[in-house]
Amino acid sequence: MQVLAEKLNDKGYDAKVVLFDANNMAAIAAKDGDIDGFMHNHLPWIKTFNEENNSHLIMPEPLLAYYRTAMYSTKYNSVDELPDNAKIGYPNDPTNVEKSLQMLERIGLIKLGEKQDVFYNALDIVENPKNIELVETEISTTARIINDVDTVICPATRILQAGLDPNAFIVEDEAAVDQAVSLTIDEKNSDQQWVKDAMELMHSDEMRATFDELFKGTIILYDK
């Protein structure tokens, strides 16, 4: 966002970057009109936020990228090595709880029954043969508990920020490609010129190269 702001300012805008210290605060600020846009939460999360807050946040297309998400551990190298009663940490917001549980089901650690609510949660687990203990955390702290649990499921960006190797995962979440992250704005502002200019800048070859250099493969750009 800092690079994008600088590029917009080169075009004559007065763009400023605002930092938040909680996962949902940028979306709340955009809904309330306190900021014009942000790029942080993935598209399924945004859709849920809209439903719960009567908001109309959108991601103008084309979408930019997705966070690589995987299972990481400092104790084990494969799913088969995970012991009975293993503790697994993952983010606690509804969409990421569902994605984490679905990943655990795909790799054979649990089985989910019928969904009882809008999203799957731990109460929907019908089979847990290893008696896995699930530890839900705020997403900004998930990577930090990696030494206190047997494994964590979280975005590769968080692992990199924690000083660990984002490529040293046990298994990658193949469904992460559907969790797009891109410029997010209020729908009523979609025709504003700054949005069009920002989208053009974001998808330029120069910006895409800068993006890859900054995120070191932890966030994957979609093909143009």
134 and 159 fall within a common domain: yes
CATH number at residue 151: 3.40.190.10
* pTM of the predicted model as reported, rounded to 2 decimal places: 0.80
β strands within the chain, DSSP E: 57-58, 65-67, 69-72, 87-91, 111-112, 125-127, 133-137, 151-155, 171-172, 180-181, 185-186, 219-221
Q: Supply the pLDDT for residue 94.
A: 86
Last residue of a domain, one of 160, 177, 194: 177
Q: Supply the pLDDT for residue 118.
A: 81
Residue bearing tokens 């054979």: 108
43 and 100 fall within a common domain: no
Q: Supply the pLDDT for residue 117.
A: 84
Residue 88 near residue 135, CB atoms below 8 Å: yes
Q: Please state the domain count of the chain.
A: 2
The domain in which residue 150 lies consists of 70-177
Token pair recorded at residue 197? 């200019």
**Which segments of the chain have a pLDDT < 50?**
none
Residue bearing tokens 């089979």: 127
98 and 150 fall within a common domain: yes
168 and 211 fall within a common domain: no
129 and 202 fall within a common domain: no
